[in-house]
Amino acid sequence: MARKVTLIGLAVVALVLVVGGALVWASRPGYLDTAVVEATVGSELTRRLGGPVTVDCPDAVRQAAGATVDCAAGDAAGDAAGGRRTVRVTVLDDAGRYRWELLP
């Protein structure tokens, strides 16, 4: 009988650990894929400004509604429409949708 109780106790502990680990994994913070943001915004600015523009964003930007990050935009010489410009990226939701604006 004691062996059965021990096995049931171990099974309960294992189940709690597995479920707890799954919950921690599922609730971990998401991060915005800044490489995709750089490529997308860079392509759009290239089209708008008529020349190649690169965008550099910091890594580890939280994918949470309202989070903002400032990225740097410029051409091969470091210029974008008269100088290095700032692109402000605002995360719209936890799914990672965002909007951006080229600051003056």
Is the domain of 56 the same as that of 92?
yes
Is the domain of 75 the same as that of 54?
yes
pTM beyond 0.75: no
Is the domain of 24 the same as that of 48?
no
Is the domain of 58 the same as that of 24?
no
| Joined tokens for residue 52 | 């190649």
Is the domain of 48 the same as that of 16?
no
| Joined tokens for residue 67 | 């989070």
Q: Under DSSP, is residue 68 helix (H, G, I), strand (E, B) or coil?
A: strand
Q: Identify the helix (H) or strand (E) that includes residue 45.
A: helix 34-49
The range of the structural domain enclosing residue 98 comes to: 34-102
The model's confidence at residue 60, banded by pLDDT at 50, 70 and 90, is confident
Average pLDDT over residues 78-103: 85
Is the domain of 55 the same as that of 89?
yes
- Mind listing the pLDDT tens digit for each residue in 25-48? 555 558 889 999 999 999 999 999
Is the domain of 17 the same as that of 50?
no
Is the domain of 9 the same as that of 25?
yes
Is 46 within 8 Å of 38 (Cβ atoms)? no
Counted domains in the chain: 2
Instruction: Please state, in angstroms and as integers, the Cα–Cα distance from residue 98 to each residue in 64, 67, 69, 79, following that order.
Output: 10, 9, 11, 24
Is the domain of 51 the same as that of 9?
no
Is the domain of 38 the same as that of 85?
yes
